[in-house]
Amino acid sequence: MPKSHIRILLVDDDEIDLESFSRHINETGLPYDLISVRSKAAALRQIKESIFDVILLDFELGDGTGLELLPEIQDTPAIMITGCGSEKIAVEAMRLGARDYLIKDSDRSYLTVLPITIENVLARKRVEDEQERLICELQEALAQVKSLQGILPICGRCKKIRNDQGAWSHVEQ
In tens digits, what is the pLDDT along the chain, a chain of 173 residues? 345 789 999 999 989 889 999 999 989 999 999 999 999 999 999 999 999 999 999 998 989 899 999 998 988 999 999 887 788 889 999 999 999 999 888 788 888 899 999 999 999 999 999 999 999 999 998 888 777 666 667 777 787 887 777 788 877 76
Segment (H or E) for 42: helix 40-49
Are residues 10 and 56 in contact, defined by beta-carbon separation less than 8 angstroms?
A: yes
Write down the pLDDT at residue 53. Answer: 96
pTM of the model: 0.76
Distance CA 136, CA 142 (A): 10
Q: What share of the chain is helix, strand, coil (3-state, %, to 5)?
A: 45, 20, 35
Q: Are strands 100-103 and 6-11 parallel, antiparallel or unpaired?
A: unpaired
Residue spans of beta strands (DSSP E) within the chain: 6-11, 32-37, 54-57, 60-61, 64-65, 78-82, 100-103, 161-162, 168-169
How far from chain centre, in Å, is Cα 61?
23
pLDDT at position 167: 82
